[in-house]
Structure 1
């Protein structure tokens, strides 16, 4: 499970309104019959028109300055393993969203606990993802395509009389490189813009910066986790406990669906890896044999080359050779808004 929280883009190329973002989230519905379209939903309603989403978010911005974000986006990216655990069922995913929005509300540090009914949010399920330029498959294929493009350019130069070479030899090189392109879907080389295979379901949530009364600010982008300050002589609590929210979101999924989460799938593990890779792999190698083997297989699916699934616990340094690879895979996952493990 990978969850990201992003503030509204505020540079000159973006509208002050939420309409651009809502229009973007409607893109998968284009050309689909009404019964096949996904609708916006909130805590209690399954079918909400995009026009209402824009109207409610844009109209809930009292006392916010022009350069302050009016809304935040929360993206929930279950792994393919997690999606298989719920049979990729949109109804179960909606149920999960409604439960973790309770966790989200409770993660605000305030004088009184914030409830989910104080959060103005609208969620939308999407089923497709496309390959981006930073995806591993695209980048590795690009090396071969660049060589092929150069050879094709050389052939054109020969035809114009600008270069002397053996055309047949260049054509054979092109054929060989084309056959060597490593990543394909149904025989076609993967490139930027192609749809990713397998279950890719994820959820986008647009959340108002203000609570449902349009009086109080509830910003998950606060730089404070738990902080207290003086305002008009009174102590005021502020902040958003991100770590607590991310941890609760995983536990809620596991509780709702009886999911057996492996160590490498956890937010705690990813955070440990970033802060202390030695500790991460030491913890990984202390897992029971079956769980450790499953962990390495999951890492392999994320693009990490594990040299030996039965690495002795004493050889932590050997496992650390994969640190750079794993960090690269994690960075790609974060950029793509999705994670494979």
Structure 2
């Protein structure tokens, strides 16, 4: 499970409206019939139009300064293992989103509205399920294929020059070289070189959520930003934690998923495990090696599937294991923890 919380981008040329972001989330509906479209929804409503979303988010910005974000976005990306537990991706993820937003509201520790704790009814949000992902230029597969892509483009330009009569050469020989480069590129999908913009295969279902910075009454600012992390303040003569507790939110998001769908989460999949690895690799490996044999085997399988490179024939000794795979695992774990963060 990867969850990111990102503030609205505010640049000199960026619209103060949520329209650009909402239009981006509508991209997957292009060319589909109404019956096949994925619509926006919130805690109690379905089939909410993009126009209504923009109206509600843009109209809920009282007293916010021009350079303050008007909304935040959450992206929830279940793993392939988690997605396999769903019977109906759209319906199940919609149900999960509504439970997740209860966790989001509860993560505003110590915050109150009209003398009561914040509830999901105080959060103005709209969500949308998407089922496709495409490879980006920043993806490892695209970056490592780039030298091949550059050479292929160079050869194709040579072919075009010969066809126009601007150069001489053997077109068939150049095409054979192009074909070899296509096959030799390190990252392929169904026998085709992976390029930027190519749809990713398999179940890619995920959730996008747009959340107003202001509460539903448009009176209070509810920011999950990093500078608003839970901190101790004095209230009613007692010290209490106040602010958004992101660690609690990410951890509870996993618990809620597991409870909702009866998912048996492996240690290696937990947000806590990834954080533990960064803080204390020794304790992390100790916990890993204490797992039952079948769970331990699954843990290494999950780590490998997540893009964390493991060496062959992993030794069973904790000391050897920590020593030999630490450097390779640490980078992957840091990326995973960074993914589960608030991008401000």
Same fold (TM over 0.5): yes
- The count of corresponding residues between Structure 1 and Structure 2 is 333
Note the alpha carbon deviations across 1:20-73, whole angstroms, 9 max, x for none.
111111111111000000111010111111111111111111111111111111
* Matched-pair contact (CA < 8 Å) for 1:144–1:181: yes
Give SS of 1:85's match.
coil
Aligned to 1:318: 324
Cα distance change of structure 1 residues 155 and 272 upon mapping to structure 2, 3 Å threshold: same
Tell me the CA shift for residue 135 of structure 1. 1.5
Q: TM-score, normalised by structure 2?
A: 0.86
Alignment of 1:1-341 (within 5 A): 1-109=1-109, 110-111=111-112, 112-150=116-154, 173-228=177-232, 238-308=242-312, 310-314=314-318, 315=320, 316-323=322-329, 326-327=332-333, 330=336
Any idea what SS the aligned residue of 1:98 has?
Answer: helix
* Cα distance in 2 between the residues matched to 1:156 and 1:30: 34
Aligned-partner Cα distance in 1 for 2:160–2:91: 55
Pair 180,309 (structure 1): closer, same or farther in 2 beyond 3 Å: same
Higher deviation after alignment, 250-259 or 44-53: 44-53
Query: Cα deviations across residues 84-110 of structure 1 (Å, max 9, x unaligned)?
Result: 111352111111100010110011021
With structure 1 as the length reference, what TM-score do the two structures score?
0.86
Per-residue CA deviations over 1:197-237 (Å, capped at 9, x if unaligned) read 00111111111111111111111115133235589x99997
| Structure 2 unaligned blocks of 5 or more | none
CA distance in 1 between counterparts of 2:313 and 2:295 reads 11
CA RMSD of aligned residues (A): 3.1
Is the alpha carbon distance of 1:180 and 1:276 closer, same or farther for their aligned partners in structure 2, counting shifts above 3 Å? same
Aligned 8 A contact 2:125 2:211 in 1: yes
